[in-house]
Amino acid sequence: MNANYWNDQNSPVMPISAPDFMPLNHLQQLQLYRLQQLVKFTYERVELFRDRCKESGVKPEHIKKLEDISLLPTFTKTDLRNTYPFGLFATPMSEIVRFHASSGTTGKPIVVAYTQNDLRLWSECIQRALAACGLSSGDIIQNAYGYGLFTGGLGLHQGATDLGLTVVPVSGGNTERQIMLMRDFGTTAISCTPSYFLHLIEAAKAQNVDLRELPLRAGIFGAEPWTDEMRRHIEMESDIEAFDIYGLTEICGPGVGIECCKHEGLHIFEDHFYPEILDPDTLEPLPDGEEGELVFTTLTKQAMPMIRYRTRDLSVILPEPCSCGRHIRRIQRIHARTDDMLIIRGINVFPSQIEASLLSVSGAMPHYAIIVSRENNLDKLEVQVEFPREKFSDKISEIEKLRGQIGDAIQRTINLAVTVTLAEPNSLPRSEGKARRVTDLRNK
Ligand code: DLL
């Protein structure tokens, strides 16, 4: 590592070997020390950060306590796009050893960079995450996140390898082969999006493989929102324990946070990623326990540090300590983003509300699509849901009953009339990565 970069050598406290369990005051001292180093380093090296600080009249020496973080400017995806591709890098290219990128839905991709040290710290977070799920050497993890510019594949891969797990780097897709490998290799853990795992559950059934009889016992699911109702469906169908892993390209990739075996929120590796919750309209910090936009500061990243990066993900910092004994704080599972909220006839609707209510109906399938359109100047919400294969033989009245129950459940939650269309089994698109379930036809 270049000697000019900050490191922990002069920190009043040293990180300990089990950082998740660091005493709180120890953790906060370390966070403050790292924050001060980071701000100084980034101010010197990243023009946009320096300019924004000058606009707000803040200098690195103003950061005297952790709360002073709120003096610093915030950054968004637009800043990454406007400085595409390398404008936010803080180290020379000769020290950058990896790029990743995320295409997003519109416009230019965003590019992120890592030094050797950044990759080491990312791996540390993945190792802590997988260990929190009870995985250790001897486990065989089938990594079905996409390999390539997406952070899921290579990120999980490195951390799992360094923890001593046996990695099957299968990447996404090729579903029949996934099932074969799972069975032949005796895979004990799988990492992929929850929607892809749903697809694997069906594919296994089609191949007459009962996942419940395989050694598979844990799923590391993330990269997209999923509900507790979806978790119950997955766990029942496959007899595994499903863990929620969170992360985003701009901050490092997967491994910003993870559920522990208590499944009561996601622990954030906050000695590396300092979390804040801000009011998305006023940008005022909100106290722990209140819902708002999740904002992260990368306390240790060098190639491309992020300071107060607005994720657009909505969550809550849970103030109570977790009964697992970890001191690092938890956030509530991410059920929505500020930009995936649909406004239908003036009512705010999150896709996760629709998923949760439809899956609360016994017999409903987790394969669905949400279509919003406009007819005669009125917004129309349609939810297409596959009906279970077993229902094929049922009377029309039974199928109609299911349709009515789903419609009622959704309507009760979102307070809006909804048209439920039952689709034939296996007729809606399946995803190999992040699911796209919403089609908004109103602006087309
Ligand atoms: O999805 C990184 C990742 C890979 C996370 C593998 C977990 C597992 P991006 O493509 O940049 O990075 O997308 C980041 O995905 O801001 C959230 O909106 C969403 N997201 C990620 N994990 C979760 C999760 C990766 N567990 C964006 N629950 C984030 C809900 C999630 N949303």
In this predicted structure, what is the pLDDT of residue 11? Answer: 76
Contact present, 240 and 218 (Cβ < 8 Å): yes
pLDDT at 277 exceeding the cut of 80? yes
Residue written as token pair 């968004």: 76
Look at residues 371, 352, 338 and name the one whose alpha carbon lies nearest to residue 410.
Answer: 352
Backbone angles phi, psi at 51, to 5 degrees: -60, -45
In this predicted structure, what is the pLDDT of residue 7? Answer: 78
How many A from CA of 391 to the centre of ligand 1? 35
Query: Which residues, 6 or more positions from 386, have their beta carbon under 8 angstroms from its beta carbon?
Result: 365, 367, 368, 422, 423, 424, 425, 426, 427, 428
How many A from CA of 257 to the centre of ligand 1? 10
Give the residue, by CA position, lying nearest to ligand 1 atom 18: 313
pLDDT at 238 exceeding the cut of 90? yes
For the stretch 70-79, pLDDT in tens is: 999 999 999 9
pLDDT at 15 exceeding the cut of 70? no
For the stretch 288-323, pLDDT in tens is: 999 999 999 999 999 999 999 999 999 999 989 999
Amino acid at position 427, single letter: S
The rounded mean pLDDT for the chain is 93
How many A from CA of 249 to the centre of ligand 1? 8
Burial of 285-323, coded b for 16+ CB within 10 Å and e otherwise, reads: ebeeeebbbbbbbbbbbbbbbbbbbbbbbbbbbbeeebe
In this predicted structure, what is the pLDDT of residue 399? Answer: 83
For the stretch 350-402, pLDDT in tens is: 999 999 999 999 888 999 999 999 998 899 999 999 988 776 666 778 888 89
* pTM across the whole model: 0.95
pLDDT at 190 exceeding the cut of 70? yes
Mutate to test the pocket of ligand 1, among 122, 158, 171, 248 (most ligand atoms within 8 A of CB): 248
Give the residue, by CA position, lying nearest to ligand 1 atom 6: 152
Q: Could you tell me the maximum CA-CA distance found in the chain, to the nearest angstrom?
A: 74
pLDDT at 119 exceeding the cut of 50? yes
CA 436 to chain centre: 15
Pocket, ligand 1, Cβ cutoff 6 A: 102, 145, 151-152, 222-225, 244-249, 253-254, 311, 313, 334, 337
CATH class, 1-337 region: alpha beta
> Domain segments of the chain: what residues?
1-337, 342-440
433 band by pLDDT with thresholds 50, 70 and 90: very high
Give the residue, by CA position, lying nearest to ligand 1 atom 21: 223
Task: Please tell me which residue, 80 or 389, carries the higher pLDDT value.
Answer: 80
In this predicted structure, what is the pLDDT of residue 39? Answer: 98
The CB density around residue 60, as the number of other CB atoms within 10 Å, is 18
Q: Average pLDDT, stretch 36-48?
A: 98
Query: Which residues, 6 or more positions from 228, have their beta carbon under 8 angstroms from its beta carbon?
Result: 333, 356
Rounded CA separation 308/250 (Å): 11
In this predicted structure, what is the pLDDT of residue 1? Answer: 43
Q: Average pLDDT, stretch 93-97?
A: 98
How many A from CA of 237 to the centre of ligand 1? 24
Q: Of the given ranges (196-200, 259-263, 338-342), which has the lowest mean pLDDT?
A: 338-342
Q: Average pLDDT, stretch 224-251?
A: 97
Query: Residue 45 in 3-state DSSP?
Result: helix
3 band by pLDDT with thresholds 50, 70 and 90: very low
427 band by pLDDT with thresholds 50, 70 and 90: very high
How many A from CA of 413 to the centre of ligand 1? 25
pLDDT at 193 exceeding the cut of 90? yes
Question: What superfamily does domain 342-440 belong to in CATH?
Answer: ANL, C-terminal domain (3.30.300.30)
pLDDT at 283 exceeding the cut of 70? yes
Bridge partners (DSSP) of residue 248 are: 253
Task: Please tell me which residue, 47 or 424, carries the higher pLDDT value.
Answer: 47
Look at residues 264, 259, 254, 126 and name the one whose alpha carbon lies nearest to residue 192.
Answer: 254
For the stretch 140-178, pLDDT in tens is: 999 999 999 999 999 999 999 999 999 999 999 999 999
Taking the CA of residue 312 as reference, the ligand 1 atom at the shortest distance is: 16
How many A from CA of 95 to the centre of ligand 1? 27
